[in-house]
A and B are shown apart, each in its own frame.
Chain A
Amino acid sequence: MDNSKAVFVGAVFVALALFPWLGAGSYGIDLVTKIMIYAILALSLELLVGSTGLVCFGQAAFFGIGAYAAVLLSGEEDAASVLWLLPACVLAAALYALAVGALSLRTKGVYFIMVTLAFAQMAYFVVHDTALGGGTDGIYLYFRPGLGEWLVLDDPVTMYLFSLACLIGVFAFLAVLLRSRFGRALAGIKVNEQRMRGTGFTTYPYKLAAFTISGGLAGLGGFLFAVKDGFVNPELMSWHLSGAALVMIILGGLGHLRGALVGAFAFLLLQELFKTEAIFGDFAKHWHLGLGIVIIAAVAFLPRGLVGLPEQLRKRLAGVGAGERGGSLKNPLGEAKS
């Protein structure tokens, strides 16, 4: 990451840290907390799609498992400690991801997309149809976990800051990971897996490790979501959320961690905008329509996502590259089109 990008990301995090003291109301705090949690989900998916070239269409399952674990593992008598509950939720999601990844990484391309989707649906139906997760109604969290007086997540501002800390932690972790040897190997697999094998990389363990890490990070997001809302239901695992996460990272710009960040904010703010009755009146309840049109327009006009927009504009102004398609988006599936 060169300097201007690091400055951009730093500025975003500083602005987020100051936000509660800049006259944000409870609505604003709640909304941005939610967005930051989804940004963690988007970042976890970016590790797979943008950095490794594995298009996973079942990320919501890991998110949901983290959330359900948070509720199911919390006691009904008193608050659980974040110190063990958070790692437990991450681990639960990572273990499920390990199992799913071990099986689905045997397939490639579109099959992989579909198999990950199917495994997510499996998890969805387990909580939807069985008594384990309270069925379609979902279940409530009796006590928010915390850490004695040090960390009281019932307080929205504390919850906000805790989520921000997790987001920064995930971002930093991925930034370090991606420039390590492991991360470079993932980048190589994304560009040309066959060549990587030819050079001597057994690629399967790398992909499985990425898949597991990604699942664990998504589980962290799910944990935060359950703690914030104090409630989980099967919709957390629905394929709509998996799809939305994909939309976020593509909208933001694949192949860049900050793309996931920007995409999550753009997607959820747009959604919020279209839901605003003050602007759209009665039409606000049909907010999906506006969102759908924006997504279609983004595919048509923003092949590199929002983070590619400055460069796209620069080129447009300079009169070159008008018809050029996004480099980072170019067929991330490799052989899938054959």
Chain B
Amino acid sequence: MSNEVFLRGQDITRRWGGLVAVNQVSVTLERNCIHAVIGTNGAGKSTLINLLSGEIALSGGSVELLGEDVTAWTQPRRARAGLGRSYQRNTIYPSFSVFENCRLAAQATHQKGWSWWQRADRCPVSTEAARDAAHRAGLDKLLDRTAGMISHGQKRQLEIAMCLATGPKVLLLDEPLAGMGAEETERMLAMLDELRPDHGILLVEHDMDAVFRVADQITVMVNGTVIASGDPDFIRNSSEVREAYLGEGH
């Protein structure tokens, strides 16, 4: 079964002075596939997301998005081409309404002609995309609430909704389950399941139970290097992974 490849990172490397934060990591994101990246704190998982999304520049390697080499593209350009990311810490706009958070994100893909006189909340394209994204993230009932006032789990959902509002093909999700209760986790996992068919998803996550339930493929990173990559069964049975990472507490 060969799925459509949405994103391919080849030998991605990032050095900070003498320190190698990410060392020759290759990842592939395909349609209908959730690719989880796990590893200890400081393993370079968030840096990897930053590199793929273009937030920081590569020291080596290349990134290919939907068949195009985007290594030299800026982050906004990659985002507009269909690469969405969420952040580990909430980056919602707390003083805006939930709806406006989504609408502003949706606006990013329709930037042509900055009409300065039309009210933003009457812009048909971005309002529709925003409602749709909020609906998919299960936020229908919260549209008018101030984003800073909703619960932590709802903020994480909003974070995803803002990603979806831009209509991405690829989702890079940085610990979407962090700080969530059991019920909220279930809801989020169900959402990931729903997104799976149309998106290539990279999931960085610490919640191992969730990862093994939802992921189709798992990559394990230690100190910036990939030590193992394969389907969940393979990872579960890999002695290297057990030794380096899963060893205690699992």
A complexed with B: yes
Chain A positions near chain B (C-beta within 8 angstroms):
176-177, 179-185, 187-188, 191-192, 194-203, 209, 327
* Known A199-B166, A200-B166: A180·B104 in contact at CB below 8 Å: no
Inter-chain contact B85/A198, CB cutoff 8 Å:
yes
Chain B positions near chain A (C-beta within 8 angstroms):
53, 55, 74-77, 79-80, 84-85, 87, 91, 93-96, 100, 103-105, 107-109, 111, 114-121, 123, 126, 162, 166
* Known A181-B115, A181-B118, A185-B104: A200·B87 in contact at CB below 8 Å: no
Inter-chain contact B120/A181, CB cutoff 8 Å:
yes
When distances are taken between beta carbons in the complex, the residues of chain B under 8 Å from A199 are: 79, 84, 104-105, 108, 162, 166
Partner of A200, one of B76, B115, B121: B76
Secondary structure at the A interface, as helix, strand, loop or mixed, is helix
Inter-chain contact A180/B95, CB cutoff 8 Å:
no
Inter-chain contact B116/A198, CB cutoff 8 Å:
no
CB distance from A307 to the nearest CB of B (A): 15
Inter-chain contact B93/A192, CB cutoff 8 Å:
yes
Inter-chain contact A181/B107, CB cutoff 8 Å:
yes
CA distance A196 to B111 in the complex (A): 13
- Count chain A CB atoms within 10 A of each CB in B80, B87, B105 and give the residue with the most: B105
**Sample of 12 A–B contacts (CB below 8 Å):** A180-B114, A180-B118, A183-B116, A185-B107, A187-B96, A192-B91, A195-B93, A197-B55, A198-B91, A199-B79, A199-B166, A202-B76
When distances are taken between beta carbons in the complex, the residues of chain B under 8 Å from A182 are: 114-116
Inter-chain contact A183/B76, CB cutoff 8 Å:
no
Partner of B91, one of A183, A194, A203: A194
Inter-chain contact B114/A209, CB cutoff 8 Å:
yes
Inter-chain contact A179/B120, CB cutoff 8 Å:
yes
Inter-chain contact B93/A188, CB cutoff 8 Å:
yes
CB distance from A211 to the nearest CB of B (A): 15
Partner of B74, one of A191, A192, A202, A327: A202
When distances are taken between beta carbons in the complex, the residues of chain B under 8 Å from A195 are: 87, 91, 93
When distances are taken between beta carbons in the complex, the residues of chain A under 8 Å from B118 are: 180-181
Inter-chain contact A200/B80, CB cutoff 8 Å:
yes
Contacts A180-B118, A187-B93, A200-B111 supplied; 8 other A-B pairs, CB < 8 Å: A176-B116, A181-B114, A182-B115, A183-B120, A192-B91, A198-B79, A198-B87, A209-B114
When distances are taken between beta carbons in the complex, the residues of chain B under 8 Å from A327 are: 95
CA distance A181 to B115 in the complex (A): 7
CA distance A209 to B126 in the complex (A): 21
Inter-chain contact A180/B93, CB cutoff 8 Å:
no
CA distance A182 to B118 in the complex (A): 9
